[in-house]
Structure 1
Amino acid sequence: MIEVSRSTLITGLAIDKDGKKNDIVTFEVLNTSEAQPHNQSGGAPTTLYTSEGDSVADLERLNEKLERQIVTSHNQIILIDEDIAREGLSQYIDILQRSRYVREDVTLLITHDVPASRLLKVVYPGNMYASLKIRSQVENYHERWGGVPISQLFNYTQATLTEGNSLILGAITATGDPQVSQNMDSVKSLVPKSTILITGSAVFREDKLIGFIGANDTRYVNMIRNQLSNTSFAVPIADGKSAAIRYKHWDTELSVVMNGDVPHVKIHLSGEGQIASILGDVPLDEVTGFQQVEQAADRYLADQVQATVNKIQTKFGVDVFGFGQHLYRHHYRQYLPFKKDWNSAFVRAKVDVTASVRITNSDLKTSRLKKEPS
């Protein structure tokens, strides 16, 4: 039993390395009185404590600095520095994943170009603490635009145990002045002194980070994996003009078969959307106008997805799309000879992408303003 009055909640965790290659873990500890709106007195909603050791297990001596019993079950986010991720995640994730007190839905992110602890030091208006803000930002960005993958501790476990599927996790960084942004006075400014920026995805070979892809490519990866809910595209149409389409329904059909030692992948993308804005003289009061936009969207999406697949094949050589997993589930005998090194087959894959976009209606209430010739 843990007495509430003698305990404190860990809400965030950041793992870095120092110059001596020791592990440095920064804990975000909730200041309960300041986290409640009716009890705020102007203080920080959380306090950060740092512990150093040779492994994550050695870093549980936080009571050297903290008087209360530590409760880790409310931890919302784990941030891991990219240098640690390049060496391998397994030794750090193992103790967290096997702990009965750490939930599988905790958000797991890789920090890019900044130390992991830097992101927990940014303060926000309304006394929102960093871990809650980052988690909410990641979830909303994935839901509304798709520029970051679903990135939880469970996804690490799933990618480790699943055949023919490599790991990707969300990538995040911070901009601005780190010294000013950790001061509570910084929230009084109209312009944020520092912001948290989601940069896309971190790509892994087994448990080692091998590089990053941007938010746009991440969106197409999510699309192929059938993990895209809503997004928007600026589709080029005739004469250098474009139409902005907001998609609300999306579905991806995969077909993966082996032809000798070469995987043949067919991807068919289908979705529904609305025209949010348009530049150009496309008659949206006629069926032909909608058909013109739909055909342009079909070509654009097929080309963009094809380019993303080619980039992943040539630059990283790991199957983050789940083509191998699909082959494993539907044609196990074809997958079996490549089980030990599916990625070597993935880089040879021939991929054909088609798209079918249906424009249901337009959000524009009038036709384009155009003065009639006199």
Structure 2
Amino acid sequence: MKRKGVFLLALTLLVLLTGCWNRRELNDLAIVMGTGIDKIDGQYVISAQIVNPGAVASTESGKISQSAVATYSMRGSSIFEGIRRMTTETPRRLYFSHIQVLVLGEQVAREGIKEALDLLFRDHEVRPDFYVILAKDTTALQILSMIDPLEKIPATKLYKSLETGEKAWGSIVSMRLDEVIADLLREGVEPVLVGATLKGKVRTGSTDISSQKDSQPNLLRYQDIGVFKKDKLLGWLNEEESIGFSYITDKVDSTVEEIPCDKKHKIVVEIIRSKTTVNGKVKNGNPQIEVSVSAEGNVGEVACPKDMSNPQTIYKLEADVEKRIREKIVSAIHKTQKQYHSDVLGFGQSIYHNDPKGWKKVKEDWDSKFTDLNVKVKVDVRLRRTGKVGNSFIPFIKKD
């Protein structure tokens, strides 16, 4: 009996102390921070930006000896094939669990992004919380190969710039992988993705650290929002239309509105809070949408001879800001309705939630219904502060 007990104990220990049978040593992995997918001449071009932990540590300690990242690319007839082919060049196995951003080329987006999203969403090693962006007027490889003076890892620059810009400027919208897939599956809404473009002369990063220190960096900026129909890119909203989109979809944390007071001067208002409600319903077989925006702001810049201590001046300025916001919202609605016929604004989703029975009546013909949809827009703006001073000193500067 005692021998049987010892045997059972030994068997239990064998089960519990098997160790990490599928462990992978860090030195055997190439940690991918950013991935790009382009399509050229009918083939996919897969890019992977791999971090060099030793180089990152050395730059933090002040000893610069090698590049913090290496960007590899490979062609393939499929995305999966391109990733596997890349192992013929990389000295380590690609590891995608820490990916921060996926960059999709414009050609890939216009032909359809479902294959790229399915691969990364299906892989058990990949977390679906990374950002998805578009390469506008350039390639995903060039976006990943840019040099930035503040961030050693370009993919981290893309990640942080997206989060920072979204909080401070209304034309930038961040979308994670799971959010994009959700918009592809939900009724009454189509997905959008923000575009990234390079300004100035396009040049790729060099592994020569001295040349990186002396060279001028590429200027990468997020610009315009890509409008999709299902999984295919149709076109772009410009900056003002993108801000209008953000107001409608309640994605404005903060932004700036400029109000001209004459041909040369203007007043700048900082929007510090914004809340949008979209109410949708079907009445007599016709869908109806009402967009209500409530915003608060501060006066940020005054270059006009206006008496900011006069309440009437503030009331007039509030009305002008309301008009400006309404114009941006209407322009976004008009372009998505008349040019793209794509409900990226989520009006159908609003009807689905607020009037489920009405949605069932119009969803089969929603594309044509959306194009002719009558949308009421209400904007209310309240200015809270004018800054440390009231009137501007600019009109009182002494003249020769």
| TM-score, normalised with respect to structure 2 | 0.87
Identity of aligned residues (%): 20
- Following TM superposition, by how much is the alpha carbon of 1:318 offset from its aligned partner in structure 2, in angstroms? 0.7
Quick one: structure 1 residues 367 and 333, their matched pair in 2 at CA, closer, same or farther if it must change by over 3 Å?
A: same
Query: 1:15 and 1:214 mapped to 2: Cα distance?
Result: 24
- Following TM superposition, by how much is the alpha carbon of 1:68 offset from its aligned partner in structure 2, in angstroms? 2.1
Query: 2:366 and 2:264 mapped to 1: Cα distance?
Result: 42
Partner of 1:246 in structure 2?
A: 270
Partner of 1:121 in structure 2?
A: 145
1:267-286 CA-to-partner distances (Å, cap 9, x unmatched) read: 11111110011233322112
Quick one: structure 1 residues 256 and 223, their matched pair in 2 at CA, closer, same or farther if it must change by over 3 Å?
A: same
- Following TM superposition, by how much is the alpha carbon of 1:361 offset from its aligned partner in structure 2, in angstroms? 0.9
- Following TM superposition, by how much is the alpha carbon of 1:341 offset from its aligned partner in structure 2, in angstroms? 4.1
Quick one: structure 1 residues 241 and 23, their matched pair in 2 at CA, closer, same or farther if it must change by over 3 Å?
A: same
Q: 1:188 aligns with which of 168, 188, 213?
A: 213
Query: Contact 1:174 / 1:196 at 8 angstroms: preserved in 2?
Result: yes
1:200-219 CA-to-partner distances (Å, cap 9, x unmatched) read: 11110000111111232112
Amino acid at match of 2:55: E
Query: 2:82 and 2:102 mapped to 1: Cα distance?
Result: 15
- Following TM superposition, by how much is the alpha carbon of 1:112 offset from its aligned partner in structure 2, in angstroms? 1.2
Secondary structure of the structure 1 residue equivalent to 2:61? helix
Query: 2:97 and 2:34 mapped to 1: Cα distance?
Result: 11
Quick one: structure 1 residues 149 and 180, their matched pair in 2 at CA, closer, same or farther if it must change by over 3 Å?
A: closer
1:321-371 CA-to-partner distances (Å, cap 9, x unmatched) read: 111101000101111122234222111111121211000011251423355
* Residue 333 (str. 1) matches residue 357 (str. 2): yes
Secondary structure of the structure 2 residue equivalent to 1:276? strand
Partner of 1:268 in structure 2?
A: 292
Query: Contact 2:33 / 2:96 at 8 angstroms: preserved in 1?
Result: yes
1:1-28 CA-to-partner distances (Å, cap 9, x unmatched) read: 1112222201111111232x11110111
Quick one: structure 1 residues 290 and 187, their matched pair in 2 at CA, closer, same or farther if it must change by over 3 Å?
A: farther
Partner of 2:226 in structure 1?
A: 202
In terms of Rg, which structure is larger? 2
* Residue 3 (str. 1) matches residue 28 (str. 2): no
> Counterparts in 2 of 1:63-142, with a 5 A limit?
63-126=87-150, 128-142=152-166
- Greater shift, 254-263 or 343-352, is seen at 254-263
1:221-263 CA-to-partner distances (Å, cap 9, x unmatched) read: 1111111111110023478753211011111122222234432
- Following TM superposition, by how much is the alpha carbon of 1:180 offset from its aligned partner in structure 2, in angstroms? 6.3
Amino acid at match of 2:69: T
- Following TM superposition, by how much is the alpha carbon of 1:125 offset from its aligned partner in structure 2, in angstroms? 2.2
Partner of 1:349 in structure 2?
A: 373
Partner of 1:53 in structure 2?
A: 76
Query: Contact 2:148 / 2:218 at 8 angstroms: preserved in 1?
Result: no
Secondary structure of the structure 2 residue equivalent to 1:211? strand
Amino acid at match of 2:54: S
Query: 1:133 and 1:55 mapped to 2: Cα distance?
Result: 28
Secondary structure of the structure 2 residue equivalent to 1:342? helix
Query: Contact 2:244 / 2:330 at 8 angstroms: preserved in 1?
Result: no
* Residue 22 (str. 1) matches residue 22 (str. 2): no
Amino acid at match of 1:5: N
Query: Contact 2:295 / 2:381 at 8 angstroms: preserved in 1?
Result: yes
Quick one: structure 1 residues 77 and 148, their matched pair in 2 at CA, closer, same or farther if it must change by over 3 Å?
A: same
Unaligned runs of 5+ in 2: 1-22
Query: 1:342 and 1:79 mapped to 2: Cα distance?
Result: 31
Query: Contact 2:142 / 2:204 at 8 angstroms: preserved in 1?
Result: no
Secondary structure of the structure 1 residue equivalent to 2:278? strand
Partner of 1:314 in structure 2?
A: 338
1:121-142 CA-to-partner distances (Å, cap 9, x unmatched) read: 1122255111111111111111
Partner of 2:202 in structure 1?
A: 178
Secondary structure of the structure 2 residue equivalent to 1:192? coil
- Greater shift, 363-372 or 222-231, is seen at 363-372
Unaligned runs of 5+ in 1: none
Q: 2:307 aligns with which of 264, 270, 283?
A: 283
Query: 2:269 and 2:205 mapped to 1: Cα distance?
Result: 37
Query: 1:237 and 1:257 mapped to 2: Cα distance?
Result: 40
Query: 2:46 and 2:63 mapped to 1: Cα distance?
Result: 28
Partner of 2:35 in structure 1?
A: 13
* Residue 367 (str. 1) matches residue 388 (str. 2): no
Quick one: structure 1 residues 367 and 324, their matched pair in 2 at CA, closer, same or farther if it must change by over 3 Å?
A: same
Query: Contact 1:284 / 1:290 at 8 angstroms: preserved in 2?
Result: yes
Quick one: structure 1 residues 24 and 288, their matched pair in 2 at CA, closer, same or farther if it must change by over 3 Å?
A: same
Amino acid at match of 1:26: S
Partner of 2:13 in structure 1?
A: none
| TM-score, normalised with respect to structure 1 | 0.93
- Greater shift, 10-19 or 229-238, is seen at 229-238
Quick one: structure 1 residues 217 and 67, their matched pair in 2 at CA, closer, same or farther if it must change by over 3 Å?
A: same
Equivalenced residue count is 371
